[in-house]
Amino acid sequence: MFDGDEQWTYNEARSLSRGTAAALQKLGIQRGEPVLVWLPNASDIVRVHFGLCYMGGIFVPINLALRGGTLEHIIRNSGAKTIICHTHLLDRLAAVKLGSLERVIVFGGEAKGELPLAYLPSDVLTPDEGRFVEPSPPIQPWEPHGIFYTSGTTGPSKGVITPHVHTAVMGKCALRFFQEDDRFLMNLPYYHLGGALTPHAVLGFGASMALMKNFRTEEFWDEIRRTQSTCCFLLGAVSTFLMKQPPRADDADNPLRTAIQQPLPQYSVEFAKRFGVALYTQLDMTEMGPAIMSPLITDRQMPHGYCGRLENIWPTFEVRLVDENDCEVPDGEVGELAVRCDMPHVISPGYWAMPEATAKSWRNGWFHTGDALRRDAEGNYYFVDRTKDSIRRRGENISSAEVEEEVLKHVDIADAAAVGVVSKMGEQEVLVVVEPKRGKTIDPAELLEFLRPLMPHYMVPRYIRVMDKMPYTETHKVQKAMLRSDGVSAPGVWDREAHGIKVKRELIG
């Protein structure tokens, strides 16, 4: 089901996909060739993706929010010759270097412009199933169907190579509770693998899906009811946005039965009861599916950072928490999550055209996730931080996630991000960026006093920045790389030391 109540049966989806594959073949797209796709959530992006899957091309979707250097990086890194682009995005291409691009297929309007590219109208991709030529030899499970660029929250985006079996297995594991009568509301952008894996998963279970064009908090439950969706992802700040909506008498009167909530917030039990939804959580990423998954979250609030356990439903994963020398750390200590799988190609083979980054993450026979976790004696795993998001101050390692958890206890704060900024002392200082709730204001000095009894002295931020709206990715993650880049030179950054406020260690004895 798509916007405007467009619907496909399984047979219609197959016919449209094979017909689009034939059109791509006619354009000369080769097996193994990357094709940039810059389209909104609608039926066209699904059929283009599946068309490329059928004929062996590689689907390379682009974040609709991108422009400038980040856009240029993806165009250049992909090496694509063809971009399928919505007309409203063409002006952004005019402002960047176009790498290897030779032509643009324009959807949503007239195909003309001043770019040094051949312009083609969208009707060159009109489906024509009768002309489809089956690839020979047949497409294999280990061949890549996509390259998905990471959100770039910690640095330049890397293109994650995704084989067919990688995405199929990820979908089967992530939606492990799915049934034939379920309908998944795909409320993520399709350029995010969490969105693009949905049709793969749905096909595997014989179920159905609805594609949400744009996520809007105030329209979410209306869309759930309109599409009669029974399941969805709740990633990043989405559940926070929904919880902050005024309560309604019919909050629990909706068809949604199950949601995968990542990360699991402090109010997960309250959320489940308010909206009548069964919750699961898990730890996964674009490079791999969920090796660590939770059972059904019941009426007990799980501890902060809880991700679940090693659940080898199928296939079999091995996980380790390791130090900087790849030595396993004992239970209770924090280490980087490293993973491997007994089925080849379930974990991505690497980053597109980035051999050094690939070698760094896939070393010693394990994929190193960059996630810092700890494991308790019962085998439960808890997310602590991204390894690059940890802050080193005065000899102490600080979890940005733990700082943010305390900041969010302030009743007037809607969202918060903690990052490390350069210190004259040789390590880092803590900068907290906060977004007030609508209609509220934040006094940095008052916030500081609120935090002092909640944190050890070394965790209390030196710098506080108040923003009406923090920079988010399209998957509702705060773009910490941007906040770090702005640093303390951004307008309005408040420095407690400049105001004569010192926070010192409490001496005992």
The pLDDT of residue 395: 57
C-alpha–C-alpha distance, residues 487 and 220, integer Å: 34
The pLDDT tens digits for 472-509 are 876 778 888 889 889 999 999 999 999 999 888 654 33
Superfamily name with CATH number, domain 390-499? ANL, C-terminal domain (3.30.300.30)
Q: What is the pLDDT of residue 509?
A: 34
Could you give the residue ranges of the DSSP H alpha helices within 27-150?
Answer: 43-55, 68-78, 90-93
User: How many whole angstroms separate alpha carbon 62 and alpha carbon 191?
Assistant: 6
* pLDDT digit string, tens, across residues 196-218: 999 999 999 999 999 998 888 89
Q: Is the pLDDT of residue 333 over 50?
A: yes
pLDDT higher than 70, residue 38: yes
Tokens read off for 457: 């002295």
Residue 84 near residue 35, CB atoms below 8 Å: yes
Contact between residue 386 and residue 402 where contact means Cβ atoms under 8 Å apart: no
- Is residue 155 over pLDDT 70? no
Distance between CA 404 and CA 432 in Å, rounded? 8
Residue-wise over 360-390: b if at least 16 C-beta within 10 A, else e? ebbeeebbbbbbbbbbeeeebbbbbbbbebb
pTM score:
0.82
Q: How far apart are CA 475 and CA 237, in angstroms?
A: 9
pLDDT of residue 399: 76
Identify the H or E element spanning 480: helix 480-486
Q: Mean pLDDT in the chain? A: 91
**3-139 is classed in which CATH architecture?**
3-Layer(aba) Sandwich (3.40)
Per DSSP (E only), the strands in 164-238 are: 183-186, 208-211, 231-235
| Residue 400 per-residue DSSP state | H
Q: Which one has a higher pLDDT value, 39 or 189?
A: 39
**CB contact at 8 A, 295 and 308:** yes
* pLDDT for residue 330: 97
Q: What angle do CA 239, 244, 249 make, to 5 degrees?
A: 100
**Average of pLDDT values for 6-11?**
95
pLDDT above 80: residue 313: no
Q: Indicate the pLDDT class of residue 394, thresholds 50, 70 and 90.
A: low
Distances (CA, A) of 501 to 72, 371, 428, 504: 44, 34, 18, 10
In this chain, the answer to whether the domains covering 167-386 and 390-499 adopt an identical fold is no
pLDDT at 389 over 90: no
Query: Which value, in Å, is the radius of gyration of the alpha carbons in the chain?
Result: 24
Can you give the residue ranges of every domain in the chain?
Answer: 3-139, 167-386, 390-499
> What pLDDT, on the 0 to 100 scale, is given for residue 151?
58
- Lowest-pLDDT range of 225-234, 338-347, 449-458: 449-458
- Condensed to tens digits (0 to 9), the pLDDT of residues 269-307 reads 999 999 999 999 999 999 999 999 999 987 788 988 899
How many CB atoms are located within 10 Å of the residue 85 CB? 25
Instruction: Return the pLDDT at 405.
Output: 83
Q: Which CATH class is domain 167-386?
A: alpha beta
Q: What is the pLDDT of residue 406?
A: 86
Which tens digits make up the pLDDT trace of 358-370? 999 999 999 999 9
- Assign 153 a pLDDT band (cuts: 50, 70, 90): very low
In the three-class reduction of DSSP (H, G, I as helix; E, B as strand; rest coil), residue 290 is classed as: strand
Residue 154, pLDDT score: 47
Residue with tokens 């105001």: 499
Measure the CA–CA gap between 185 and 107, rounded to whole angstroms: 24
Tokens at 454, concatenated:
């909640």
Give the residue-averaged pLDDT of 243-247.
Answer: 90
CA distance 297 to 278: 7
Rounded-to-integer distance, Cα 174 and Cα 283, Å? 10
pLDDT class for 424, splitting at 50, 70, 90? low
Number of helices and strands in the chain (H, E) = 13, 26
> Is the torsion defined by CA of 396, 401, 407, 409 positive or negative?
negative
- CB-based contacts of 75: which residues, under 8 Å, 6+ apart? 36, 83, 96, 97, 98, 99, 101
The predicted-structure confidence for 65-102, as pLDDT tens digits, reads as follows 777 777 898 999 999 999 999 999 999 899 899 999 99
